[in-house]
């Protein structure tokens, strides 16, 4: 268990650092209203998790450590959107389209609502 936690932590720290550096670099050259840095991070994260999961599926003997370090850790630290997108792809691929669309709608709507609630509560403090 300790080894798993350390692998996830190492991957997560690396992903978070890369997310920060990507944001700094993109924002250095992009000053428009569209949040390009976050968009790029989310899209690259989706590409990465897709590549990694396909590689892991193709190589069935692939170590759980590899998945913990790169998928859970790195991709999770870089962007949780990639996990969200992969889960929905899996649901749709598993003939659970209705569940996927409910998850997508609920995540977006409830997520935005809870940001507003959090901001409202934070202003009361």
Write the DSSP assignment of 21-55 as a string of letters: HHHHHHHHH--SSS-HHHHHHHHHHHHHHHHHHHH
Which residue reads 């990465």 in tokens?
Answer: 48
Does residue 23 have a known ligand-binding role?
no
Rg (CA), the chain: 17
Does residue 76 have a known ligand-binding role?
yes
Residue (of 98, 75, 77) closest to 85 by Cα position: 75
The answer to whether residues 81 and 47 touch, using CB atoms and an 8 Å cutoff, is no
What distances in angstroms separate CA 124 from CA 28, 54, 56, 117, one per listed residue? 34, 47, 47, 11
Going by the annotation, the residues of the binding site for Na(+) are: 76, 79
Going by the annotation, the residues of the binding site are: 76, 79
């Amino acid at each position: 268990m300790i080894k798993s936690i350390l692998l996830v932590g190492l991957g997560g720290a690396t992903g978070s650092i890369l997310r920060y550096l990507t944001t700094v670099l993109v924002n250095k050259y992009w000053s428009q209203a569209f949040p390009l840095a976050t968009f790029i991070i989310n899209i690259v994260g989706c590409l990465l998790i897709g590549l990694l999961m396909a590689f892991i599926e193709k190589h069935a003997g692939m170590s759980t450590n590899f998945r913990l370090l790169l998928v859970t850790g790195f991709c999770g630290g870089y962007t949780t959107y990639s996990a969200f997108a992969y889960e929905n792809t899996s649901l749709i691929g598993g003939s659970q389209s209705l569940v996927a669309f409910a998850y997508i709608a609920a995540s977006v709507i409830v997520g935005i609502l809870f940001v507003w609630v959090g901001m409202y509560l934070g202003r009361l403090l």
